[in-house]
Amino acid sequence: MKIGVITNLIKIEEFVAKRMATANTDDWMQATGGNTGNIAFVQGITNILGHEFGVVYWGDNPKAVNQYYDMLVICCANQIGAHVDLSGWADRLKHFDLPTVFIGLGAQSNEIGNIPDIPQGSKDFLTLTKSLRANANENNIITRGTFSSEVVEHYGVSSSPFGCPSQFISTALNLGQACLAHQQRAKYERIMTAAGNPWHPSATLENTLTEIVEKYHGDYILQHPKALIQLALGEADDISADQVKRFESVYSRIGDWEHIKAWFESYSVLFADAQNWMHYSKHFTLAMGPRYHGVALPIQAGVPGKVISIDSRTEELSVTTGIPTVKYKDVEHLSADELVNFCRWTQEDADTYDSVRGQNATNYKGFLANNGLPVSESISLLAES
Q: What is the DSSP string of 99-140?
A: -EEEEEE-B--SSTT-PPP--HHHHHHHHHHHHT-SSTTS--
pTM of the model: 0.95
Topology of the domain comprising 3-168+356-384: Rossmann fold (3.40.50)
Do the two domains 3-168+356-384 and 175-352 of this chain adopt the same fold?
A: yes
Does residue 376 carry a pLDDT above 90?
A: no
User: What pLDDT, on a 0 to 100 scale, did the predictor assign at position 385?
Assistant: 75
CA–CA separation, 125 and 89 (whole Å)? 7
Does residue 255 carry a pLDDT above 70?
A: yes
Structural domain spans, the chain: 3-168+356-384, 175-352
Does residue 51 carry a pLDDT above 70?
A: no
Q: Identify the three-state secondary structure at position 142.
A: strand
pLDDT tens by residue, 101-136 = 999 999 987 777 889 999 999 999 999 999 999 999
User: What pLDDT, on a 0 to 100 scale, did the predictor assign at position 50?
Assistant: 73
Q: How confident is the model at residue 185 (pLDDT cuts 50, 70, 90)?
A: very high
User: What pLDDT, on a 0 to 100 scale, did the predictor assign at position 313?
Assistant: 85
Average pLDDT of the residues of the chain = 95
Q: Is the dihedral of CA 382, 13, 163, 154 positive or negative?
A: negative
Does residue 5 carry a pLDDT above 90?
A: yes
Q: Which CATH number fits domain 175-352: 3.40.50, 1.10.10, 2.40.50, 3.30.1490?
A: 3.40.50
CA–CA separation, 133 and 99 (whole Å)? 6
